[in-house]
Structure 1
Amino acid sequence: MTNTTVAQRVSVIGLGAMGTALAKALLAGGHEVTVWNRTPARAEALAADGAQVAASSAEAMAAADLVILCVLDDAAVREHLEPAAAQVRGKVVVNLTTTSPEQARALGRWAAAQQVELIDGGIMAVPEMIGGPAAFVLYSGASAGFERFRAVLELFGRAEFVGADLGAAAMYDVSILGGMYAMFAAFRQGGAMVRSTGGSAARLAALMGPFLQAMASLLEGYAPGIDNPADYVQQQSDEFTAAAIDLIDKSAAESGNPTQLYTVLRDGLTGL
């Protein structure tokens, strides 16, 4: 922790693999960390590193100025947060549990009624990446609370505030994950296709990886076509794209691996 960083009182509710990684990052940053988990044994290693272990989630929330939740789902968030309204009133609560955009907004309505500054977050990393250069976390909601604790949140990875709408972080999160899963689905399909010619998925991965990285650099160029479609002149016509996807689909069938994947891509990209 630098000389200009003030130690903060932070509580972490939920000590699964991700919650534990978050707590460790906070401890390494020199903050006063209180933890709670439904299974107390998971807190033992953190206690050895200097964390205080609370007897209940409400007790943990009472001990901090910044409360971080990283639990199973929206129901678990409400299970712990709503009965502790008095303990979190006037505080900043960061919900890093994966929820839908509307669940985040609904929790925000509850938080506003309880005078709680709520921030919703989406972690774009696996636990092993927390605190590393490739990790980043999306945040939305209470901008003042975010700025107040930005230095703390930066311990997890690059902190990206994406808007005052509490659903914004979740929507960016699922949109990014959608791109990831689409890539994995295409790779799985392609792996099956190249094997029909005696190739291997391993060789495909070696060839596809660098190509996709280069293609990813083109995303910013496509963004104006979505943000300002009336003023955008696309470089490749829908007809060309549709024909290319049709050829890929035909090749998949010829390989003995027909799929609906390319029909979905064709509809999503061209509407033809």
Structure 2
Amino acid sequence: MSTTSAASRDADAGGVVASVAVLGLGAMGTALADALLARGHRVTVWNRTPAKAAGLVEHGARQAESVAAAVAAADLVIVCVLDYAGVTDLLERQAGDALKGRVVVNLTNGAPEDARAMAERVAALGADYLDGGIMAVPAMIGGPEAVLLYSGSSAAFTAHQPVLDAFGRGVFVGGDAGLAPLNDLSLLAGMYGMFGGFMHAAALVRSAGRPVEEFTTTLLVPWLHAMSASLPQMAAQIDSGDYSATGSNLAMQVANDSIGDVSRAQGVSAELFAPMYALMKRRVADGHGDEDMAGVVELLHKR
């Protein structure tokens, strides 16, 4: 069996179906299997607790009695479990030789080094490997807003993209298997930063007895949309290393701790904003007060 097996070619051509195994039926694994079934694919499922497969079986999935049996029934093997130790157990100890000639898509959360090591293990078992990052909650799987990041074998991604599209929009980020988890965590870092800013803003508004929802919809969201337009320019500065100020430079921005002072006066903790302010102050103290905000990245990662 090869990456471009008969079932996969049929799926690529918009024909019948692909044979897919889904290992791990937590909330996300179940959503992935459901999305495949909705597209008419032949789905074999396995879970450590067999009862979790009942609903999927009712929808047309076949339940395998073992990991090896599930893998043997499929060209494409989707793994979504708690951690990479669990993936290793499933693929090396339980699937073993059954993986030969197949494609493994590991959608388990982990670190870049975990993904690279797993790619080597899977290759040693004779299979192609894709690591993935799911930028969605289970309820979003199969919908237009779900985005999944993939890295590893470009041939495997190209051959099986029509099947993987059942989950959401697939984005291949590179041949290094560690790139999907790296991009996943980078996106989450940006998200948590935004949420942190929102929490601080919400606390300030609430401290004045004002409705947070009205502030958010009428003022904050439009403001953040407008400010997000500056991110590509900041990214270009980070890539080039040229942080020449095009607007308010860092020295001007940290001349006063207005956000911190007003927060404390309003009985609001400034601990979400304080780390950013401290970094900006440090960059100015290091002699870079004439730079744009993007220069702060140099304190987080040395070029």
What's the TM-score, normalizing by structure 2? Answer: 0.83
Displacement of 1:258 = 2.9
Displacement of 1:268 = 4.9
1:140–1:167 contact (8 Å) kept in structure 2:
yes
Displacement of 1:30 = 1.5
Q: Which amino acid aligns with 1:52?
A: R
**Structure 2: stretches of 5+ with no match in the other structure:** 1-10, 285-303
Distance 1:205 1:120, change over 3 A: same
Displacement of 1:267 = 4.6
Which of 153, 175, 186 is the aligned partner of 1:164?
175
Higher Cα radius of gyration: 2
2:12–2:162 contact (8 Å) kept in structure 1:
no
Task: Name the counterpart of 2:186.
Answer: 175
Which of 215, 232, 243 is the aligned partner of 1:204?
215
Which of 94, 98, 111 is the aligned partner of 2:122?
111
Moved more, 63-72 or 103-112: 103-112
Q: Which amino acid aligns with 1:75?
A: A
* 1: CA distance, partners of 2:171 / 2:46: 27
Q: Secondary structure at the match of 1:61?
A: helix
* 2: CA distance, partners of 1:239 / 1:34: 60
The answer to whether residue 82 in structure 2 is matched with residue 69 in structure 1 is: no
Q: Which amino acid aligns with 1:68?
A: I
Displacement of 1:31 = 1.0
Distance 1:258 1:42, change over 3 A: same
2:200–2:273 contact (8 Å) kept in structure 1:
no
Q: Which amino acid aligns with 1:62?
A: A
Displacement of 1:128 = 1.1
The answer to whether residue 256 in structure 2 is matched with residue 225 in structure 1 is: no
1:18–1:127 contact (8 Å) kept in structure 2:
yes
1:74–1:103 contact (8 Å) kept in structure 2:
yes
RMSD: 2.0
Q: Which amino acid aligns with 2:67?
A: S
Displacement of 1:2 = 9.1
What's the TM-score, normalizing by structure 1? Answer: 0.92
Displacement of 1:3 = 6.4
Distance 1:268 1:148, change over 3 A: farther
Q: Which amino acid aligns with 2:114?
A: Q
* 1: CA distance, partners of 2:18 / 2:71: 13
Q: Which amino acid aligns with 2:140?
A: M
1:225–1:234 contact (8 Å) kept in structure 2:
no
**Structure 1: stretches of 5+ with no match in the other structure:** none
Superposed CA deviations along residues 166-202 of structure 1, whole A, max 9, x for unmatched, are 1111011111111111121222222222222222332
* 2: CA distance, partners of 1:20 / 1:138: 19
1:5–1:151 contact (8 Å) kept in structure 2:
no
Q: Secondary structure at the match of 1:59?
A: helix
Task: Name the counterpart of 2:5.
Answer: none
The answer to whether residue 55 in structure 2 is matched with residue 50 in structure 1 is: no
Distance 1:2 1:96, change over 3 A: closer
Q: Secondary structure at the match of 2:261?
A: helix
Summarize the alignment of residues 68-147 of structure 1 with structure 2, pairs less than 5 Å apart. 68-83=78-93, 84-147=95-158
Displacement of 1:122 = 0.5
* 2: CA distance, partners of 1:150 / 1:198: 51
1:252–1:259 contact (8 Å) kept in structure 2:
yes
Task: Name the counterpart of 2:297.
Answer: none
* 1: CA distance, partners of 2:18 / 2:278: 50
The answer to whether residue 243 in structure 2 is matched with residue 216 in structure 1 is: no
Question: Percent identity among equivalent residues?
Answer: 47
Task: Name the counterpart of 1:7.
Answer: 17
